[in-house]
Structure 1
Amino acid sequence: MARHGGFRAAARATGLSPSALSHAVANLERRLDAQLFLRSNRAVSLTDAGTRFLNELEPALERIGRAVESISDASATASGTIRMNASSVAVEQLMDDFIAPFLRENPAIDLDVHEDTALIDIAEHGFDCGLRLLELVPLEMVAVPVGPERQQHIVVGAPGYLDNMAPPASPNDLSMHECIQFRMSADTMYRWEFSKQGESFSLRTSGRVCVSSTKLALAAARNGLGLAYVTRSIANDDLETGRVIQVLEDWTPPYPGLAIYYPRNRHRSSTMRAFVEYLRERQRL
């Protein structure tokens, strides 16, 4: 609860009911004759006594966790379900070389992928791991780089569209173009990111077409409906066949690639340990 900010979030992360967790904490406070948490309708936070108690406990809990993991590694075959929160584009990039081979080698493990464009707190929502760009992984998480070391977002448009509209010479010229919008959440559009010679910024664009999938954005661009901001990996085939053309090349350099990440202080199941170890081994090949 100290990390999750409330009984409900902590209950989801631990697999207990909120009432059971609340009773357990109340019993502990009675035994210690000390209030460990300050409770309100909005959040739960540690008291000074609770903070001291947690700081004393954490080293011991980490040792217990490592001991449990070592016993589990020696005696248990990995089985169960890995719940992953990820963008669909990221999962597609890793499916052939990482995810599918792992599942074939571990038939007792299931993978439950929740596709999500928004970056959420995976611990609070009960996920075992997330898959995002390395630069987006929260600092309190353990990140395991996986896949190509570099990624790249690029701006593309169909030759027919660019025949009628002068290609943009700089990101500021995008104000004169139809830019296909990518919806991150119900009320948030993705801002296009650019960098050149030490100058980096994000830009709000506008256009008549709005989608929630980068594949749809690419398809719209392919059909001459405007410019799209997509990953190079999904645009490669269309670039090679000339169905789309890249613009603003100098403004879209590569950046660090993908990472699987998971909470630093949470006990990892045998399935997650097997998954992480497999990914590290594959990455070294």
Structure 2
Amino acid sequence: MPREDFNDLLWFLAVAEDRSFTKAAAKLGITQSTLSHTIKRLENRLGLRLFTRTTRSVSLTEAGDRLYYALLPSIRDIRGQLEALSDLRDKPSGTVRITLSDHALETVAWPKLEPVLKAYPEIRVELSRDNGLRNIVEDGFDAGVRLGESIEKDMIAVRIGSDWRMLVVASPDYLAEKSVPQHPQDLLGHNCINMRQATAGGLYTWEFEKAGQELRVRVAGQLTFNSSYPMVQAAVKGLGIAFVPEDLVGIQLASGALLTLLDDWTPPFPGYYLYYPSRHQNSPAFRVVVDALRQR
């Protein structure tokens, strides 16, 4: 095929995608008259009209529609191969910004990302600790980490951690002076350690489930934190009952410094997911980070 014939097809695709000679010409860096002449030449060579043009719109004819969908897979494959070659040429570099909770950072993200920083010195990772639900698009983040149940449907979600659960814990000293809760509602009569959600500003409502019954309890107490870690310390000192991730209290439970309560009301649930907009233009650096975090 002569080179000019191939260019004609590429220019045809540009007009078909934008449905506008003006927009297509601007993207191609040519004049509108040159583009119109080229498309007319292609139509004459094929003996078919490819576009229906009015003063306000441009649309594909039946022949134009068939040609467009015949060319599209091949062009996409060529573009993909060219991008892959570019990735081989360019070392992954640049900044990847992620918002996530302190628990997700300490238990899932950081252990996986530390080797990445050593292997790819030109990749910079900014990790913003936030226990609220940030809008990653409005706040300029490349991605965020949340529990799977709280991710919007229009986001791409990549699982990065195993299932886990929350535990209600208290110290033996605290329980020595109080009745042991037998039902989540019994917590209303106890000194509970609260968690304030940074973004919403409200207090976290403790969530329970048993035999398909879901229950939420708004607890009250002397202490409120915006992080789970000091909640564990406060519970060990007998300052109240805490509701914290199970993996934060393994040592304290093994030593007897803390005891679990309402264990049958706290089943496991899907763990952390990395999420990002479906239209995100993934850079090589971003793909390296996603692959490192992905749950194997």
Residue number in structure 2 paired with 1:53? none
CA–CA distance in 1 between the matches of 2:82 and 2:270?
A: 34
Q: Is the 8 A contact 2:116 2:292 kept in 1?
A: yes
Structure 1, residues 36-82: CA drift from partner, whole Å, max 9, x if none?
Answer: xxxxxxxxxxxxx9xxxxxxxxxx9xx59957753442321101111
Residue number in structure 2 paired with 1:268? 282
Residue number in structure 1 paired with 2:108? 94
Residue number in structure 2 paired with 1:252? 266
CA–CA distance in 2 between the matches of 1:250 and 1:178?
A: 21
Residue number in structure 2 paired with 1:154? 167
Q: How does 1:5-20 map to 2 (within 5 A)?
A: none
Q: Is the 8 A contact 2:109 2:293 kept in 1?
A: no
Q: 1:202 aligns to what SS in structure 2?
A: strand
- Closer, same or farther: CA 66–205 of 1 in aligned 2, 3 Å: farther
CA–CA distance in 2 between the matches of 1:150 and 1:194?
A: 16
Letter in 2 for 1:140: D
Residue number in structure 1 paired with 2:131? 117
Q: Is the 8 A contact 1:86 1:116 kept in 2?
A: yes
Specify which of 206, 210, 221 is matched with residue 207 of structure 1: 221
- Closer, same or farther: CA 66–115 of 1 in aligned 2, 3 Å: farther
Q: 2:249 aligns to what SS in structure 1?
A: helix
Q: How does 1:13-52 map to 2 (within 5 A)?
A: none
- Closer, same or farther: CA 181–247 of 1 in aligned 2, 3 Å: same
- Closer, same or farther: CA 120–256 of 1 in aligned 2, 3 Å: same
Q: 2:282 aligns to what SS in structure 1?
A: coil
CA–CA distance in 2 between the matches of 1:90 and 1:68?
A: 36
Percent same amino acid among aligned pairs?
36
Residue number in structure 2 paired with 1:172? 185
Q: 2:285 aligns to what SS in structure 1?
A: helix
Q: CA deviation at 1:119?
A: 0.6
CA–CA distance in 2 between the matches of 1:68 and 1:173?
A: 63
Show structure 2 runs of 5+ residues with no match.
Answer: 1-21, 24-55, 57-71
Structure 1, residues 111-143: CA drift from partner, whole Å, max 9, x if none?
Answer: 111111111211121101111112222211111
CA–CA distance in 2 between the matches of 1:171 and 1:247?
A: 9
Residue number in structure 1 paired with 2:49? none
Letter in 2 for 1:213: S
Are 1:278 and 2:292 an aligned pair? yes
CA–CA distance in 1 between the matches of 2:244 and 2:83?
A: 40
CA–CA distance in 2 between the matches of 1:70 and 1:258?
A: 30
Letter in 1 for 2:165: Q
Letter in 2 for 1:113: L
Residue number in structure 1 paired with 2:30? none
- Closer, same or farther: CA 66–121 of 1 in aligned 2, 3 Å: farther
CA–CA distance in 2 between the matches of 1:96 and 1:270?
A: 20
Letter in 2 for 1:268: N
Quote the RMSD (CA, aligned, Å). 2.8
Are 1:184 and 2:197 an aligned pair? yes
Q: Is the 8 A contact 1:174 1:205 kept in 2?
A: yes
Residue number in structure 1 paired with 2:17? none
Q: Which one has the largest radius of gyration?
A: 2
